[in-house]
Amino acid sequence: MPELPEVETIARQLRGLIVGRTIAHFRSDWRRLTEPEPADLFAARLAGRAIRGVRRRGKLVVMDLDDGEALIVSLRMTGQLLFREKEVEAHPYRRAHIAFTDGTALEFADTRKFGRMAIVDATALDGATHAPRRVGEPLHRFLGVEPLSRAFTVRWLRDFLARRGRSAIKPLLLDQTGIAGVGNIYDIEALWRARIHPLRTAGSLADDEVGRLHEALRWVLRKGIRYGGATRRDYRDARGKEGRMQREFNVYDRAGDPCPRCGAEIVRTVVGGRGTFHCPRCQRLPRGAARPARSRA
Domain boundary among 71, 106, 125: 125
> 164 and 99 in one domain?
no
> 166 and 120 in one domain?
no
Active-site residue 274, yes or no? yes
Amino acid identity for residue 8 in this structure: E
Instruction: Choose among 265, 271, 274: nearest CA to 291.
Output: 271
Query: Could you say which of 2, 5, 147, 292 is catalytic?
Result: 2
> 168 and 91 in one domain?
no
Q: Find the radius of gyration of the CA atoms of the chain.
A: 20
Query: Could you say which of 3, 69, 107, 189 is catalytic?
Result: 3
> 160 and 119 in one domain?
no
> 198 and 250 in one domain?
yes
> 229 and 120 in one domain?
no
Instruction: Choose among 233, 177, 188: nearest CA to 58.
Output: 177
> 165 and 51 in one domain?
no
Put the strands of the sheet holding 116-121 in their side by side order: 51-57, 60-65, 69-74, 116-121
Residue 48, in any domain of the structure: yes
Residue 85, in any domain of the structure: yes
CA distances (Å), origin 123, targets 140, 197, 205: 11, 37, 35
Instruction: Answer whether 267's CB lies under 8 Å from 278's CB.
Output: yes
Query: Could you say which of 55, 56, 57, 59 is catalytic?
Result: 59
Q: What is the full per-residue pLDDT of the chain (297 aa) written as tens digits?
A: 799 999 999 999 999 999 999 999 999 999 999 999 999 999 999 999 999 999 999 999 999 999 999 999 999 999 999 999 988 889 999 999 999 999 999 999 999 999 999 999 999 898 665 566 665 667 787 899 999 999 999 999 999 999 999 999 999 999 999 999 999 999 999 999 999 999 999 999 999 999 999 999 999 999 999 999 999 889 999 999 999 999 999 999 999 999 999 999 999 999 999 999 999 999 998 766 656 666 655
> 171 and 246 in one domain?
yes
In the chain the first and final C-alpha atoms are separated, in Å, by 18
Q: Which domain holds residue 209?
A: 154-278
> 85 and 171 in one domain?
no
For 276, the enclosing helix (H) or strand (E) is: strand 274-278
Domain boundary among 125, 145, 167: 125
Q: How far apart are CA 177 and CA 140, in angstroms?
A: 9
Residue 143, in any domain of the structure: no
Residue 140, in any domain of the structure: no
> 188 and 269 in one domain?
yes
Residue 294, in any domain of the structure: no
> 165 and 114 in one domain?
no
Q: How far apart are CA 265 and CA 56, in angstroms?
A: 36
Active-site residue 189, yes or no? no
Residue 8, in any domain of the structure: yes
Number of separate domains in the chain = 2
Residue 76, in any domain of the structure: yes
Query: How remote is the C-alpha of 174 from its chain's centroid?
Result: 10
CATH code for position 22: 3.20.190.10
Q: How far apart are CA 208 and CA 252, in angstroms?
A: 24
Active-site residue 113, yes or no? no
Query: Rounded to two decimals, what is the model's pTM?
Result: 0.93
> 168 and 90 in one domain?
no
DSSP state letters, 100-169: ETTS-EEEEEESSS--EEEEEEGGGGSS---PPPPTT--GGGS--B-TTSTT--HHHHHHHHHHTTTSBH
116, β-bridge pairs: 74
Active-site residue 2, yes or no? yes
Query: Could you say which of 21, 222, 274, 281 is catalytic?
Result: 274
- The confidence score (pLDDT) of residue 130 equals 58
Residue 134, in any domain of the structure: no
Query: Is the Cα torsion angle 19, 21, 26, 30 positive or negative in sign?
Result: negative
CATH code for position 160: 1.10.8.50
